[in-house]
């Protein structure tokens, strides 16, 4: 908030557009004297809370690896994000920021934690609705929907009216099991999708690694070469198992 006087020297705030995500409406609030301090509840839960959880997981994973005298451990950290980490979602600044942030966590840790026998991956569900407490997923019929903590009934109605299909919790679980069961899956992101888009209900997004002929690939190689925190074990992000996932 200390920056407010500097911003006021550049622009005079005359009106502010607020977006109500639940109602899908835009409300104009005019003639605010000063901007209000933002409520960062979503970031605190979806980003700060995740950072605490990741820190705990890495602490115990590394400890297990250091004390292990038997066969190498296969430890898995799966970050549950959202496809919003790859897509634009107007009006959801904090939510979108948190999911892009989770991608950043995955892309950072996948290069440093393999030396501790920790595989780090990301799953990003599409829209998912579920019965609370029963573990039942509604696929198409709105009459079978019970409001969840994730989306209000108004939002679900809005999506159904626009013929948006839903992914399922079961398929998210299948994707997680596939990651856990295949030690070659390292540093990947998986979309949890409607079966009409992905026969298995999930698919490798294949968007977090750059082709050899573009600038970002050269910059990534340079950044990794100059970073002493990178893993001491060599690995290939674009492994042959991708062909298996595409079958």
Confidence of residue 156 (pLDDT cuts 50, 70, 90): confident
**Is there a contact between 107 and 187 (Cβ–Cβ < 8 Å)?**
yes
Confidence of residue 105 (pLDDT cuts 50, 70, 90): very high
Quick one: pLDDT at residue 30?
53
Is the pLDDT reported for residue 16 higher than 70?
Answer: no
Q: Using a cut of 0.95, tell me whether the model's pTM lies above it.
A: no
Taking residues 142-155, report their average pLDDT. 54
CA distance 120 to 75: 9
Quick one: pLDDT at residue 133?
37
Q: What is the pLDDT of residues 33-52, one digit of tens each?
A: 788 888 999 999 999 999 99
Quick one: pLDDT at residue 150?
63
**38 φψ region: left (φ > 0), alpha (ψ -120 to 50), beta (else):** beta
Topology of the domain covering 38-126+167-225 = Rossmann fold (3.40.50)
**Is there a contact between 193 and 200 (Cβ–Cβ < 8 Å)?**
no
Beta bridge partners of 124: 191
What element of type H or E holds 122? strand 118-125
- Residue 209 burial (10 A CB sphere; 0-12, 13-18, 19+): middle
Q: How many CA atoms lie within 13 A of 43 on its CB side?
A: 9
Q: What is the pLDDT of residues 123-140, one digit of tens each?
A: 999 998 664 433 333 333
Beta bridge partners of 119: 76
């Amino acid at each position: 908030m200390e920056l407010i006087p500097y911003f006021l020297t550049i622009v005079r705030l005359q009106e502010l557009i607020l977006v109500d995500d639940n109602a899908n409406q835009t409300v104009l609030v005019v003639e605010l004297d000063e901007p209000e301090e933002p409520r960062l509840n979503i970031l605190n839960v979806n980003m700060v809370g995740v950072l605490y959880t990741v820190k705990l997981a890495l602490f115990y994973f590394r400890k297990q690896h250091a004390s292990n005298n038997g066969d190498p451990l296969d430890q898995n950290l799966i970050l549950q994000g959202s496809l919003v980490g790859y897509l634009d979602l107007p009006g959801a600044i904090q939510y979108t920021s948190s999911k892009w942030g989770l991608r950043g966590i995955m892309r950072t840790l996948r290069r440093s934690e393999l030396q501790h026998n920790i595989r780090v991956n990301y799953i990003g569900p599409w829209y998912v609705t579920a019965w609370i407490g029963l573990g039942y997923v509604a696929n198409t019929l709105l009459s079978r929907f019970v409001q969840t903590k994730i989306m209000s009934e108004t939002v679900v109605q809005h999506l159904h009216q626009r013929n948006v299909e839903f992914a399922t919790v079961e398929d998210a679980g299948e994707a997680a099991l596939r990651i856990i069961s295949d030690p070659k899956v390292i540093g990947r992101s998986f979309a949890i999708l409607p079966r009409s888009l992905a026969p298995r209900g999930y698919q490798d997004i294949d968007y977090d690694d750059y082709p050899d002929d573009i600038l970002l690939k050269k910059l990534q190689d340079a950044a990794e070469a100059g970073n002493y925190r990178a893993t001491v074990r060599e690995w290939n992000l674009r492994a042959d198992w991708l062909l298996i996932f595409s079958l």
